[in-house]
Structure 1
Amino acid sequence: MMGESVITKIEVQKNNKHRYNIYVDEAYAFSVHEDIMIKHRLQKGKPISADERRGVLSDEERNDAYLKAVRFLGTRPRTNKEVRQKLHAAGYEEAVIDETVRRLETERYVDDRDFAKQWVEQRLRSQHKGKAYLRQELLHKGVGREHVQEALQGIDWEDEVSSAFEIGAKKWRQTSGEPFEKKRKTAAFLLRRGFSNDVVQQVLHKINDINN
């Protein structure tokens, strides 16, 4: 068992002003984020035992996982599952991942319920995806079925028809052939986009009114 040693030097890292190199007994020992240094009151001349060092490194790993997750979330919202996959790929242990995700959920950085609602609104509007397609996307991302169902129920019927009509009318214009053939191809296209048969029939009815 390593006995008690003394911190003999602390220096800020050249490429990251928020991280510090810690020297123990004149030799480099480890590096920590400034938050961990402050938490453990690491300073030159302070004795540090083997147990204390393990505690510091344990907190450092958890803090590092948290910061990595926050950076990952900085580009766009992510689901619980996506954050877990990212941290797992980075090599963190399950206990650290569990703790990190719980903290992120408490701080509302990760919220699958809110994610599902935002995803549905954005994809319906900009990607013109129907409920069936959106359901599969959210389930694939690990969102719970109850959150998926709630988000899909929040879709306004008129908004869904409008989204389907926008791409359905475009598909109709781009399709050659007799009206019945254009109708068949447009319907198949919309169904593949995840729109229900009721929505598709409503869109075809509107297209028919415009073209007659």
Structure 2
Amino acid sequence: MIKIDKVSKKKNGLYDVHLSNGDKMTVHEESLVRHRLLSGRELTEEELKDVYESIQYDQAYVGALKYISYKLRSHHEIRDYLGEEYETYIIDDVVGRLMDENYINDEMYAEALKNTMLNTSDKGPGLLERELKKHRIEEDIIFTKTAAFSDAVDSERMNKLKQKELKRYKGSNRHFSMKLQEKLMTKGYYKEHFELIDFDDDFDETPFFEREFDKLYKRYKKKYEGFELKQKVTEALLRKGYAYDLIQEKLGGMTDETIG
């Protein structure tokens, strides 16, 4: 038999239960009362094991509820969180109870995450899919929520993203379109979303073209002249996305003999 030598009160409704074998259990007041953990009480090894497992279960359940109280959690998150401290069989029982009580619901979690990303971020459905896979959400839920997100993306959202990137961009129209598509792909958008963007606006690439032309002309002028200089400048500007006709128009007044 193992005797409870002493019960000492701690903070936050916790108690230390000191046992005659030298062990100590820290329990909530509720567990103290439920299991009648009083000084002088004697317990068999089997009774003590049952008490310990019950207390572990209670602590895991309360800890999981507290973890969930901050925000919705996925089934996988709860398991990871409890796995740092509790045995698998306790985690299984706690997770099962939380699911029965609807505290854990992966479909609700996925729906909430979808709405958050859609309404408070500039992320696309591809990032939602990636996040849900990371949390090991079922494939049919991932497909449904990602499809709903994708359908909710409209031209207003996509054109706002375009304008945001345009404010920081300095270069050719053609390159802007390419770089924007790359950026949107990293944010989780698909090809059909890119097609919602209106590029028929007043973006004027002329100032950027003039700046690039002058910079490249001065650089290549140090090594080349005449036709070769014009060719090098033309090739460099084409790589930056500027139209051939625009480049030739700029070079128009220069002859092979006078350039350079």
TM-score of the superposed pair, with normalisation by structure 2: 0.69
Cross-structure match for 1:112:
106
Is 1:93 the equivalent of 2:87? yes
Q: Match for 2:61 among 60, 63, 66?
A: 66
1:75-154 aligned within 5 A: 75-88=70-83, 90-154=84-148
* Letter in structure 1 aligned against 2:123: K
Q: CA deviation at 1:6?
A: 4.6
Cross-structure match for 2:38:
43
Count of paired positions: 204
Question: Residue deviations 1:77-105, cap 9 Å, x none?
Answer: 221111111222x2321111111211222
Question: Which has the higher Rg, Structure 1 or Structure 2?
Answer: 2
Cross-structure match for 2:161:
167
Residues 198/30 of structure 1: CA separation in 2 closer, same or farther (3 Å cut): closer
Partner Cα distance (1:188, 1:8) in 2: 69
Higher strand share: 1
Residues 160/81 of structure 1: CA separation in 2 closer, same or farther (3 Å cut): farther
* Letter in structure 2 aligned against 1:111: N
Higher RCO (CA 8 Å, separation ≥ 6 residues): 1
Q: CA deviation at 1:114?
A: 0.6
Partner Cα distance (2:189, 2:75) in 1: 27
Partner Cα distance (1:10, 1:167) in 2: 62
Partner Cα distance (1:185, 1:29) in 2: 63
Residues 68/210 of structure 1: CA separation in 2 closer, same or farther (3 Å cut): farther
Partner Cα distance (1:158, 1:81) in 2: 27
CA contact (8 A) 1:66 1:100 kept: yes
* Letter in structure 1 aligned against 2:178: R
Is 1:208 the equivalent of 2:180? no
Q: Identity over aligned residues, as a percent?
A: 21
Partner Cα distance (1:17, 1:113) in 2: 35
Residues 17/122 of structure 1: CA separation in 2 closer, same or farther (3 Å cut): closer
Higher mean Cα deviation, 108-117 or 43-52?
43-52
Q: CA deviation at 1:140?
A: 1.0
* Letter in structure 1 aligned against 2:9: V
TM-score of the superposed pair, with normalisation by structure 1: 0.83
Residues 27/188 of structure 1: CA separation in 2 closer, same or farther (3 Å cut): closer
Partner Cα distance (1:132, 1:29) in 2: 50
CA contact (8 A) 2:124 2:150 kept: no
Question: Residue deviations 1:124-150, cap 9 Å, x none?
Answer: 222211112211111012111111122
Unaligned runs of 5+ in 1: none
Q: CA deviation at 1:50?
A: 2.3
1:13-24 aligned within 5 A: 13=10, 16-24=11-19
Unaligned runs of 5+ in 2: 205-260
